[in-house]
A and B are shown apart, each in its own frame.
Chain A
Amino acid sequence: MTLHSRILGAASGAAIACTAFAAQAEVLFWSTQAKPVEEAQAMREQVLADAGDVDYQPNDGGPWLTRLQAELQAGSGTIGVLGALHGDFSAMNPDDLVDLDDLGVMSASGTFNDLAKLGTGSMQYIPWMQASYIMAASKEALQYLPEGADIDALTYDQLIQWAANAHEAAGEPKFGFPAGPKGLKHRFFQGYLYPSFTNGVVRTFASDEAVTAWEKMRELWAHTNPASTNFSFMQEQLLSGDAWIVFDHTSRLAQAFNERPDDFVAFPAPAGPTGRGFMPVLAGVAIPRTAPNMDAARALVEYMLKPETQIATLRATNFFPVVEVALPGDLPPSVKAAGDAVAKMSASADANPGLLPAGLGDKGGDFNRVFVDSFERIVLAGHDIRAVLDDQKGRLAAIMEETGAPCWAPDAPSDGACPVE
């Protein structure tokens, strides 16, 4: 053995020993949230600084699930705590998550706590943080607001008119829509467009009102930057000026407000004939049944729900607390802007809040695909709206029947699976 290989051997031996040691002491926080490098760093340095030995590892949904499933199948694992969206958890088998009722912590919202039960009798995850989708605009665009329109109480018609005015003034379409591969367009249809026009999502999927809704979507699309099919984080297009008026997730707009707080405004989503539809985003923390150190994992979940931690999380990720906290005055501009817009949206007289799709299990992706496909066929490919909706309706009905998911707001409650009417 040469000296070189000896050194290499010793080094790798030491490295293995270190990892083995680290694996024992640390709790692995395996998350799909706070993925951007700055957010992940803020999670580690600010949010989790006092949480003891925590290894915060954010990942894309695919790899996140692959490793988790491998550990569950093997029956032993290294992941201590899971952080993910409600939709990620609802796609899992509740038996794979430890019941968390006896922890004694939960969110201040009864609705969220019910969602966290995933259809079982006990909490499968603990609500961790929340956000929503809002509209944002560059101040440059405000001068083109249609006459008499109040930016905090827009209707879809006014929004379309505004986008048209901006289109005409700029010489190019300036509305921006996150229709890229990673964009959250399906949430716009499920939580905003459909509730605002049809007062439902599933029941009214192929109704005449839905046809009107898609017609409006087409009108709006005529004034939408055609590159939108590649946009996924609208803060980028706001900052670059490619889009002046946009819709997106609050945390996907945050960078724009934090970098140039004086250049942009946040405002509520528009209202349609059946009110101002909007939808929350809910993330939770859970413990997989294969967690190596149950006590440390439980302690970490409790720590995440402390008011101080929740405020630190808000600063790090732009996701709002789910417990009662007094917000300090020195929050980043993005948090103030988004917080105000969400507050106005929920306090508006015509508010029509929807819930996240629930009870779909691992069919959540298929459910989203019904809406994304309808968008691609109706708006991008220009197919006949009635024909597309009648075709997609079959798929939606099959998903609802297979999962037996009951209706959620704003659809009227159902006995058994939510029917597509």
Chain B
Amino acid sequence: MNARLLPYVLILPVTLFLCLFFLYPFLLVSKQAFSTGAGFTLDNFREVTSYWKFPITMRNTLLLAAAVVPIQLALALLMATMVNRMKKGRDLVLYVWTIPLGISDLAAGIIWLAIFEQSGFLSSMMSGLGLVDKPVNLLTFQNPGIVFLAIMLAEIWRATAIMLVILVAGIGLIPKEYYEAAEVFGASHWKRFLRITLPLLRPSLQTALVLRVILAFEIFAVVAALSGTLFPVLMGETYAYQFDLLNSGAAAAMALIILAISIAFTLIILRVLRVPKGATI
């Protein structure tokens, strides 16, 4: 086959798949968001943004992303460097750390619910140790802080691995020579991490952060399992518009708002962590 055509032929199936199952539905959703039956309108957006809960859901979603992602980034970097230094058992540790990745987010939410609920592990343990008189319910509307903390913990547990996997692959790509040279000049571990690992990890950091931040704005099942309706997030409201209120137009508008936030943050991350022109690893 013609060598110039071959790449296009090879990506053709994926392109077709994406067009059919992503691009086409996306166009339909956009159409739905900007129409209420007759012509172009912003009514759907006006409706969802004027709802009293909208600022709360927006704040909750952003707050959660802001609290979770930096911790996950630090943890993932730490774990990746640790894995990288291991001589023995590297694969085993990596497998164990990535187990949460294979668990659905709803299941993860339910696992953490089993820990935090009234008859859950944490509460029973505390009463067993005599810290409290009888099992207490932590996830109630009176303790919004604990609800937030529980969701944070569940998210960190569940989704750090996806960043870890990307960063481990990225660190593996950094040539050993740089480290050897740095060692010769007497650079400390910390300095080597700051001056070699971090800058050369930029492309992987970019990918990991983009993926993770997008997922953070889509958070739904973990929140639903742990907090019920106590901690409304954007995606939960989207679901409510579609299935409780049967208002596809408003749901589509919410979906587009989430998309817009995701795109904005993706652009920011791409810009901040860009690899300077001509620089290569």
Contact = CB atoms under 8 A, between A and B. Distances in A.
Nearest to B250: A366
Contact of A391 (B52, B53, B140, B141): B52
B140 A365 contact: no
Contacts of A376: 229
B219 to A, nearest CB: 16
B137 A226 contact: yes
Interface in A357-411: 362, 365-366, 368-369, 373, 376-377, 380, 391
Contact of A366 (B139, B228, B230, B245): B245
Interface residues of B, number: 22
Interface residues of A, number: 24
Contacts of B197: none
A351 interface: no
Interface in A209-256: 225-227, 229-230, 240, 242
Interface string A190-201: 000000000000
Given A240-B119, A373-B52, A380-B141, A229 B230 contact: yes
A239 to B, nearest CB: 12
Nearest to B226: A230
A91 B246 contact: yes
Nearest to A377: B52
Contacts, number: 50
B252 to A, nearest CB: 14
A365 B228 contact: no
B117, B118, B224 interface centre (most CB from chain A within 10 Å) = B118
Interface string A53-69: 00000000110010000
A229 B229 contact: yes
Contacts of A373: 52-53
A168 B204 CA distance: 59
Given A227-B137, A230-B139, A242-B118, A61 B243 contact: yes
- Which secondary structure characterizes the binding site on chain B? loop
A376 B240 CA distance: 15
Contact of B229 (A62, A181, A362, A377): A181
B242 to A, nearest CB: 7
Nearest to A381: B141
Residue among B142, B228, B230, B243 having the largest count of chain A Cβ atoms under 10 Å: B228
B52 A365 contact: no
Given A180-B228, A362-B246, A377-B52, 13 more contacts: A61-B243, A62-B243, A226-B140, A227-B117, A229-B228, A230-B139, A240-B119, A362-B247, A365-B244, A365-B246, A373-B52, A373-B53, A380-B141
Interface of B: 52-53, 117-119, 134, 137, 139-142, 224, 228-230, 240, 242-247
22 contacts: A61-B243, A62-B243, A65-B246, A181-B229, A225-B137, A226-B142, A227-B117, A227-B118, A227-B140, A229-B230, A230-B117, A230-B139, A242-B118, A362-B247, A365-B244, A365-B245, A365-B246, A365-B247, A366-B247, A369-B240, A373-B53, A377-B52
